[in-house]
Amino acid sequence: MLVLGSPTLVRWLLANGHLDELRLYMLPIVVGEGKRLFDDMAGNRYPLELVHSHTMDSGVVELHYTPTSS
């Protein structure tokens, strides 16, 4: 399943061990407001391993993570 633009569902999948991989796209802009992906997960740890990264010509960085067991 591919989830686009649903931080609530992504947080639930991660917290319940149902996330196989996480791909984040970081855009080269700074915003001071907005909903943060992991804001309401304070105190919880979900170890991830970076398995691939790619910088596009536009400056967007793709980060590909998979969960680790520790």
pLDDT of residue 70: 59
15, part of any domain: yes
Residues 3, 22: contact at Cβ < 8 Å?
A: no
25, part of any domain: yes
Tell me the residue range of the domain where 60 lies.
7-67
2, part of any domain: no
Q: How many domains would you assign to the chain?
A: 1
pLDDT tens sequence across 18-43: 989 999 998 888 888 877 777 777 77
DSSP-derived 3-state class of residue 55: strand
23, part of any domain: yes
What phi and psi, each to the nearest 5 degrees, are found at residue 10?
A: -60, -45
What does the alpha-carbon distance between residue 16 and residue 13 come to, in Å, rounded to a whole number? Answer: 5
Model pTM score: 0.76
CA 17 to chain CA centroid, nearest Å: 14
Q: What share of the chain is helix, strand, coil (3-state, %, to 5)?
A: 15, 30, 55
Which residue is associated with the tokens 């969960």? 67
